[in-house]
Amino acid sequence: MQQTKQTVAANTTVEKSNKPPTNKTINVRSQKYLITLMIFVVFIVSSFLTIAQASPVLNFSDIVSGPKTGLNDGLGEGTIVTVWGQNLGDTQGASKIFIDNKEAAHIYYWGKADGNMATGPAELSTYHKIQTIAFSIPATASDGLVSIHVEVNGQLSETLPFTIRNGDIFYVKPDGNDGATVDGKWNNPWATLAYVALGRDNIGARGRFKPGDIVYVTDGVLETGGLHVKYIHGTAELPLSIIAYPGAEVIIEDESYRGIHNWNGDATYWNFSKLVIKTNGNGIYSFKGMRAIGNEITNYPRPSGPNNLEGCADGQGGAIAGSNLNGPNFAGGGIKIFGNYVHDFGCDRTSKLHHVFYISNRGGTIIKSFEIGWNHVSDTKVHHALHVYDEGPCGNFSGTMRIHNNVVINQVGHGINISAGGSSEVCYDMPIEIYNNLIINSGLEIPTSAGHTRAIAITSNKNQSDIKLYNNTFYGYGEPGDGHGIRVQATGSPAWIFGGTWEFINNIVVDTNNLPFEIPGYWDIPDAGNNNLWYSPSAQTLPSWNMNSVSTNPQFVNPIVGGNFALGETSPAVSAGANTSGVVSRDLFGNLRNPSNMSIGAYESAIEDLIFASDFE
């Protein structure tokens, strides 16, 4: 410390003498400057890394309850749980996952959710930057409601809830057997899922598989003719689960019209995770209280022939669909549709009544709203991707319906469609929150979809919901010469005039086909419409109602299919948004949003993306 003071004094003397500085003095100053600069750079870099490392995110899990013992696979102890999140790292390294503040009994996989069978078939890495962890619950965990969290580079995530309870764990393997002498355990497994799902007196597998139980399915199991669940109903506390064992490719295929099917409408509270479903009808026909998590759904590949050259999903349903029209247990109960990969589904002759997601009520009584999040939908020729539609006898939904963090690419029909019809009464009026969705090239046409050339359509006087569209990115819509960005109908046939309220805030809308953003004659002025970015190379007219708008190139990092739609560092959308934190707390990459400095669109800035993409290697 004394030496430092002497140095300062000497320098002060030189300055007061008005003598020119010597080379030695200049070198000392240069060194100090360089040292200070290096310290500053290290501080900034370490601050960025600390921010990134401080935010491991857990988004969802395949199941939310299960036993802590009974696995018997020679590796883990209790239920194998798979979680999906961000900032978890592409490899485990020194990171850990805990349940009830106890380390996992065994880690089966830790890495990118890129669709390889080690992680499950859903490709959630390219646009979501999601990683996944499969682990076994330790036998020492406490019973009852506990929580799951991860520790990455010393930083803790927020938690996911999990309930540890009683239940049995079973297995289906390709070398197993079905029959009374088989107990379904690791060393004596069953052979088919059809045997598990064949119910009698609410018990499957001829009396062994009961509510609260889990079946893990190992590699090589092929279920042909679909999977028909009959007469087995679980509860919210004791669901029934069919899950691919870590690293397994499990295929359920159906050449006709059913993948996984609620055969008699009596089955409730089933969970399906990490399964490959190939069908030319409905991928999963829903169950009350269902969780459909991390599955892959695509066309059934038919053999070539003169009249049938491709697989083609068709009908009046969808990849994940169902209504209560024929019974009370096909929908409702808070269905969760998370992290599924739907691709190459449908063909040029697919009916306009077949969709990606199509959960409706039609039972005449109120049911609990569903949630659709973190799904990847690409190259589908079924109509409308993020789809909410109902008709009489309408029954309405309770609670807020949330549609968020989905990626939709090359979609026939609307990217988002909210409508109702076929009834004289109000079909629904629940709040709907639509946020953090990335929709690229929607509103495409095939011979059966004329006129569905929009990114967003909200219509019908029977639709009286309060709809919030916040922080979404729409890039390209319609066909050349046909289409527009958004249609919220205000004129025309009274039956199709939207009857609710809506807000449009912090969205990016980019025209790539020289098409208008909206058609004023059909546009219903929103209750709040501000801080959006509208861009068209052909200088399309901006909506007259929009306040605080931006109308220049959003400067995406790499706006191509398979590219990066995060915002460049100099993007005019960075920090130009309004505060929507009451609905939107993170972006599509899982980064925290700053309520006082929020960006427009589904992503924040590229600098966060670059830090995130490094995965701390």
Token pair, residue 398, equals 């309770």
Please say which residue of 101, 132, 163 terminates a domain.
Answer: 163
Looking up residue 72, the CATH number of its domain turns out to be: 2.60.40.10
Name the 3-class secondary structure at 50.
Answer: helix
Does residue 249 form part of some domain? yes
CA nearest to 296, candidates 311, 281, 275: 275
Confidence band (pLDDT; 50, 70, 90) for 8? Answer: very low
Q: Which amino acid is at 456?
A: I
Identify whether 447 is preceded by a cis peptide bond (ω within 30 of 0).
no
User: Picking from 21-35, 512-526, 582-596, which range would have the lowest pLDDT averaged per residue?
Assistant: 21-35
Residues 436 and 551 placed together within one structural domain of the fold: yes
Alpha-carbon separation of residue 270 from 260, 437, 495, 553 (angstroms): 11, 27, 37, 46
Least confident among 86-100, 444-458, 514-528: 514-528
In a domain? residue 252: yes
Distance CA 598, CA 308 (A): 51
Tens digit of each residue's pLDDT (9 = 90 or more) over 115-130: 998 899 999 999 999 9
How many domains in the chain? 2
Pick the residue with more confidence: 383 or 9?
Answer: 383
CATH number assigned to the domain comprising residue 559: 2.160.20
Q: What integer pLDDT is reported at residue 33 of this predicted model?
A: 46
The reported pLDDT for the residue numbered 304 is 53
Same domain, 501 and 380: yes
Q: Which pair of structure tokens corresponds to residue 360?
A: 């409706």
Residue 75 belongs to a domain: yes
* Domain range for 568: 169-614
246, exposed or middle or buried, with CB in 10 Å at 0-12, 13-18, 19+?
buried
pLDDT score of 54 more than 80: no
Same domain for 534 and 419?
yes
Q: Average per-residue pLDDT in the chain?
A: 88
Res. 325 pLDDT band, cuts 50 70 90:
confident
Residue-wise pLDDT for 345-356, tens only, equals 999 999 999 999
- Rg from Cα positions in the chain: 27
Out of 142, 163, 184, pick the residue that ends a domain.
163
Decide if 51 is inside a domain.
Answer: no
Do residues 139 and 182 share a domain? no
Residues 538 and 608 placed together within one structural domain of the fold:
yes
Higher pLDDT, 581 or 42: 581
Q: Rounded mean pLDDT of 593-601? A: 95
- Asked if residues 556 and 600 have their Cβ atoms less than 8 Å apart, the reply is no
Residue 37 located in a structural domain: no
pLDDT at residue number 203? 83
CA–CA gap between residue 341 and residue 273 (Å, rounded) = 12
Q: Measured between alpha carbons, how far is 57 from 124 in angstroms, rounded to an integer? A: 14
Q: Do 319 and 244 fall into the same domain?
A: yes
- Asked if residue 154 and residue 173 are part of one domain, the reply reads no
End-of-domain residue from the set 163, 179, 197: 163
Question: Rounded to 5 degrees, what are φ and ψ at 163?
Answer: -110, 120
- Whether residue 157 is found in the same domain as residue 210: no
106 and 197 in a single domain? The answer is no
For residues 263 and 178, the model is more confident at 178
Beta bridge pairs of residue 96: 151
- Domain membership of residue 526 (yes or no) is yes
Q: Which two tokens stand for residue 136?
A: 């076994």
Q: Measured between alpha carbons, how far is 579 from 582 in angstroms, rounded to an integer? A: 8
Residue 29 domain flag: no
Q: Are residue 141 and residue 200 in the same domain, yes or no?
A: no
